[in-house]
Amino acid sequence: MKALLVNPWICDFAAYDLWLRPFGLLRAGTVLRRWGWEVELLDCLDRFDPDLKDNSGEILPRRDRDGRGKYPRTPVGKPEAIAEVERPYFRYGLPPELARRRLEERERPDLILAGTTMTYWYPGYLESLELAREVFPSVPMILGGLYPRLCPDHARARSGADIVLTGGGWGELAASIAGLGLPPPPPVGDDVIPAYDLLRDRSALAVRTGRGCPHSCSYCAAALLEPELLRRTPESIAAEIAGYRDRYGTTDIAFYDNALLFDSPNHLDRILSLLLHRGIRVRFHTPNGLHARFLTPETAGLMKESGFLQPRLGLESSRAEVQQRTGGKVANRDLIRALDRLETAGFLRPEIIVYLMIGLPGQRPREAEADIRFVHSLGATISLAAYSPIPGTADYLALVRRGEIPADLDPLWQNNTIFCPRQGVFTLEAVRWLRQLAGELNRKLPGAEMEC
């Protein structure tokens, strides 16, 4: 039995590869292999396809430092739901003709499994599925990932997939395969690492040491999707990272955890100590942000010694009432203490990045300005993230109750690029002003890099 995994296009106003890997989809590939399937991948976001060239015929740049980089993009028409937005809209990834060619090079599969992430990228998901259906018209198709889990009715109505996975467990995938009349697979454990051998470039990969989060922030869906905090053993994680370095020559690892520092003496500290003992050196990245409250002096020292670059801390807001209302995961004193500990460990203040949110429900632009100036006063680099409503979260439900958004808000409007201006308080001009301010302050820091 042959399965084709599809990592779809992104359709958005902006997109950048910040160590984005089809993590869940490739884990599903590993599970399918355990069940005896042959697995192939169509990666519509493959920045390393040898046939990718610009308009002049020159080969496109492959990667920025550390494994980050720009996706190739093509202008496309905006969907009707967001036609009013006065910004260009793009399809990010392989040109359609190249994606079609990559599909046609493959033998007919017995199953197509597509993965998803951001809900508002769904036009790219639908287009990818349509292309796969055109090339392989009678092959059953399963859609999984965050989009159908957060917007199940929308995904069922719009995707065209034969089965839409909404639960997130391997048992659901097994039952779906059996329901299609294919051989029923046996149970599988949860300690599954991605089938990274399917990727063309493996210089930068993602690792998740556990799932779940000890906090339930009002704007975040982590507690909804993974209500229980489960951790893998430090030994298994260290072995996984060492395996990537030894097998693929991987130089950069991005942690995908929501709570990497939680119980660090028994978790991250042991992982890093095992890697240092074995002489494994890679660069580590934390795109999801770290809990400043959990950062110990010992962990900070191990992070520096083992190769963490630009550690990212989550603050979101410097206002105590907002911190408490949204879940109480961090206070200003936690951030100050974490910065001190990282600096003592050898990190320079400007290389430490602090995430702030703009457009939080009830927030005003001047309050966001105060947050920006507070972080700048501490000497850290500011990275702004615009708020977007995630279905099922406390903030989303409150916005619905107050009549500020409909319960069936089109996922396109869950896009943080356009949601804030839509609400009217954070106008497009206000958002641009705040980003400009953050950029100007960041440039005043000695040796700081632009991250806004």
Structural domain contains residue 188: no
Structural domain contains residue 387: yes
Instruction: Return the closest-CA partner of residue 2 out of 103, 106, 131, 114.
Output: 106
The whole-angstrom separation of Cα 67 and Cα 85 is 32
The whole-angstrom separation of Cα 141 and Cα 130 is 11
Tell me the residue type at 164: V
Q: What's the CATH code of the domain at 100?
A: 3.40.50.280
Determine the pLDDT at residue 452.
45
Pair (339, 383) in one structural domain: yes
The whole-angstrom separation of Cα 51 and Cα 451 is 30
Structural domain contains residue 76: yes
Pair (110, 236) in one structural domain: no
Pair (217, 91) in one structural domain: no
Residue 21's alpha-carbon distances to 46, 170, 202, 283, in angstroms, are 10, 20, 10, 16
What number of helices (H) and strands (E) belong to the chain? 16, 16
Determine the pLDDT at residue 42.
98
Pair (159, 239) in one structural domain: no
Residue 119's alpha-carbon distances to 114, 379, 414, in angstroms, are 14, 35, 7
- Domain closes at, from 148, 179, 210: 179
Pair (292, 385) in one structural domain: yes
Pair (219, 327) in one structural domain: yes
Pair (146, 210) in one structural domain: no
Structural domain contains residue 93: yes
Q: pTM above the 0.85 mark? A: yes
Structural domain contains residue 191: no
Going residue by residue through the chain (452 aa), what tens digit of pLDDT does each one get? Answer: 999 999 999 999 999 999 999 999 999 999 999 999 999 999 999 999 999 876 555 656 566 778 899 999 999 999 999 999 989 999 999 999 999 999 999 999 999 999 999 999 999 999 999 999 999 999 999 999 999 999 999 999 999 999 999 997 899 999 999 988 887 787 777 689 999 999 999 999 999 999 999 999 999 999 889 988 999 999 999 999 999 999 999 999 999 999 999 999 999 999 999 999 999 999 999 999 999 999 999 999 999 999 999 999 999 999 999 999 999 999 999 999 999 999 999 999 999 999 999 999 999 999 999 999 999 999 999 999 999 999 999 999 999 999 999 999 999 999 998 998 887 788 889 999 999 999 999 999 987 554 44
Q: What's the CATH code of the domain at 340?
A: 3.20.20.70
Structural domain contains residue 184: no
Pair (127, 204) in one structural domain: no
Pair (169, 61) in one structural domain: yes
Structural domain contains residue 190: no
Pair (400, 363) in one structural domain: yes
**Range of 292's domain?**
199-444
Pair (172, 234) in one structural domain: no
Determine the pLDDT at residue 56.
56
- Domain closes at, from 147, 179, 211: 179
Pair (216, 325) in one structural domain: yes
Q: What six digits make up the tokens of 362?
A: 């009830």
Determine the pLDDT at residue 54.
64
Sheet holding 381-386, edge to edge: 312-316, 353-358, 381-386
Determine the pLDDT at residue 422.
81
With beta carbons less than 8 A apart as the criterion, state whether 217 and 329 touch. Answer: yes
The whole-angstrom separation of Cα 144 and Cα 2 is 18
Number of domains in the chain: 2
- Domain closes at, from 179, 209, 227: 179
Structural domain contains residue 452: no
Determine the pLDDT at residue 191.
80
| Coil, strand or helix at 17 | strand
